[in-house]
Amino acid sequence: MNLHSTHRLQPIPGYLYLARPAPPSLTALSDSLPSPLFADATPSPDRAPHHPVPSPHARQAPVAAPDKADLARLLIVWLEALDGRRSPATLKSVRFHPHVPATLPSLRQRLQLGTPTDRADAASMLNTVHIQQAATHKTRFCASVVIRGRVRALAGTGRLVRVRKHKESPAAVVWRVETLHII
């Protein structure tokens, strides 16, 4: 018995099958709607076919996701600032959005970590980092972190930005942490 026979898939009555939507062809439109507009829209052999201009909102080519090790370093710096082991001023670099360091005091209060001078017995640790592939100049990530002995989830977003270290230097393109949320 030949398993690779010429059997074709047949629709089963009573089931709805979904297909990718496709626009109707110009000839189908011209047949169904008799109008001078559609009669003129069909290409003739002596005219070249019309190629539409791509929309500015068309899907862009995928952007490379941020390097996992680079993002992990940024999250470790943030965890050290959250623990009070690093000054929050170090987060005011171009790699963090300005509101990320501003949220540290409220996070410390919510997590009951005490003041920045009260250091934890054990430093917070980063367990895992997962990055969602970027389709635009934005990306999402999640991480598993240990803060004061408790495993917590961390979610955030990043954005590809151009930055200059000095006025005369060329702009470099880097991923910047835009938001961070402890779940």
Instruction: Show the domain range for 83.
Output: 68-182
Q: What average pLDDT does this structure show over 91-110?
A: 86
Structure tokens at 6: 């010429």
pLDDT for 2 beyond 60: no
Per the domain annotation, does 161 fall within a domain? yes
CATH code, domain with 134: 3.10.450
Across the chain, mean pLDDT equals: 75
| CA–CA separation, 15 and 74 (whole Å) | 51
Per the domain annotation, does 92 fall within a domain? yes
pLDDT for 91 beyond 60: yes
Number of compact structural domains in the chain: 1
| CA–CA separation, 31 and 10 (whole Å) | 30
Q: Using one digit for the tens of pLDDT, what is the confidence trace for 16-30?
A: 666 666 666 655 555
pTM above 0.85? no
The answer to whether the CB of 145 falls within 8 A of the CB of 75 is yes
Per the domain annotation, does 178 fall within a domain? yes
Higher-pLDDT residue of 14 and 27 is 14
Residue 71 has what pLDDT? Answer: 92
Give the closest residue to 104 by CA, choosing from 126, 81, 86, 120: 81
Q: How many CB atoms lie within 10 A of CB 14?
A: 5
